[in-house]
Structures are given as structure tokens and as C-alpha cells.
């Protein structure tokens, strides 16, 4: 969801398995977008992953360290939120992951990324999802 008054994004993004590099990038981006909540999770079992997704409007999954776990979270997130609201991030190329994610219609973000690139992702994720949280701009 987007607040058109200030152009700031409103909603919740589930961040799975954030590496130090990704966490630093997202923290820097989030300082300028206080109405956007980033919920970090290292959940490994499907019921816990699903629980995190219940309130999320979008999801970002870091595949840098564990591509197999990232694929599991991606599958759950894409099914729950829609493929436009989900992306896989990695600083290491995982060809199988990239093929899977792109064939489902989601983004693969090869990092590190700059602020403008993060703005584009978050705008798409928050507008492209199903808007499950029902939050409104203040």
C-alpha cells in the first residue's frame, strides 16, 4: 500500500534470512520510510514461515547463504502473497534459484543494491501483494 500524500510506503515486509549486508541495506532504506515495517525472520519450518507471512504485505528472501531454505520460504511467500509481492535477494549467483523465481514471475535481486533500486522493489512489493494487513496510511 502506498501513501500518496508523502510518497512514503506503508505496509509490512517479511525479511527472511537477512545477511549482514542485506540487513545494513534495508536498515538504511527503512530510516527514510518509517511507515514501512520490516519484520525479520529466520524461521525454518513451514508453520513458522506461514505465521510470519500472515501480517505481511510483501516478502524479501535472502538466498545468499542458504539457497535451499530460501526456495522453501519463497514458495510459501509467493503462494500466500502473490508473485509480484515477493523477491529473492542474493549476493551469490544461484542459477537454479534464479530460474525458479523468474519462471514464477518474481524478481531476483542481485546485490548489493542502492536506495533507488530498493525503492522500486518495495513499491512493487507493497502494491503488488494482496494487501493482507489492511493497514491504511496515517
**Number of domains, the chain:** 1
pLDDT of residue 129: 57
pLDDT at 133: 42
The reply to whether 119 falls in a domain is yes
Q: Which residues does 72 contact at the CB level (< 8 Å), separation at least 6?
A: 46, 49
Which CATH number is 65's domain given? 3.40.50.2300
Q: Is residue 6 a part of any domain in this protein? A: no
Each residue of 22-51: pLDDT tens digit?
999 999 999 999 999 999 999 999 999 999
The verdict on residue 51 lying in a domain is: yes
- Residues 52, 39: Cα–Cα separation, whole Å: 8
What integer pLDDT is reported at residue 128 of this predicted model?
62
For residue 19, tell me if it sits in a domain.
yes
**pTM, full prediction:** 0.86
Q: Is residue 76 part of a domain?
A: yes
With respect to residue 36, please indicate whether it lies within any of the assigned structural domains: yes
As a whole number of angstroms, the distance between CA 5 and CA 113 comes to 26
Q: Is 50 left (phi over 0), alpha (psi -120 to 50) or beta?
A: alpha
Is 102 inside a domain boundary? yes
Q: Which domain holds residue 33?
A: 11-128
| 21 assigned to some structural domain | yes
Per-residue confidence in pLDDT tens, the chain, 138 aa: 434 333 467 899 999 999 999 999 999 999 999 999 999 999 999 999 999 999 999 999 999 999 999 999 999 999 999 999 999 999 998 888 999 999 999 999 999 999 999 999 999 888 865 544 443 333
The shares of helix, strand and coil residues in the chain, as percent rounded to the nearest 5, are 45, 20, 35
Amino acid at each position: 500500500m502506498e501513501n500518496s500524500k508523502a510518497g512514503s510506503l506503508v505496509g509490512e515486509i517479511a525479511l527472511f534470512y537477512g545477511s549482514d549486508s542485506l540487513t545494513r541495506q534495508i536498515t538504511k532504506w527503512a530510516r527514510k520510510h518509517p511507515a514501512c515495517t520490516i519484520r525479520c525472520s529466520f524461521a525454518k519450518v513451514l508453520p513458522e514461515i506461514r505465521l510470519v507471512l500472515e501480517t505481511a504485505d510483501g516478502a524479501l528472501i535472502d538466498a545468499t547463504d542458504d539457497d535451499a531454505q530460501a526456495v522453501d520460504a519463497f514458495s510459501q511467500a509467493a503462494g500466500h502473497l502473490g508473485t509480484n509481492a515477493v523477491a529473492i535477494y542474493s549476493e551469490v549467483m544461484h542459477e537454479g534459484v534464479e530460474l525458479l523465481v523468474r519462471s514464477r514471475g518474481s524478481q531476483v535481486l542481485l546485490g548489493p543494491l542502492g536506495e533507488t533500486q530498493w525503492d522500486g522493489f518495495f513499491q512493487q512489493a507493497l502494491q503488488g501483494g494482496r494487501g493482507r494487513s489492511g493497514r491504511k496510511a496515517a
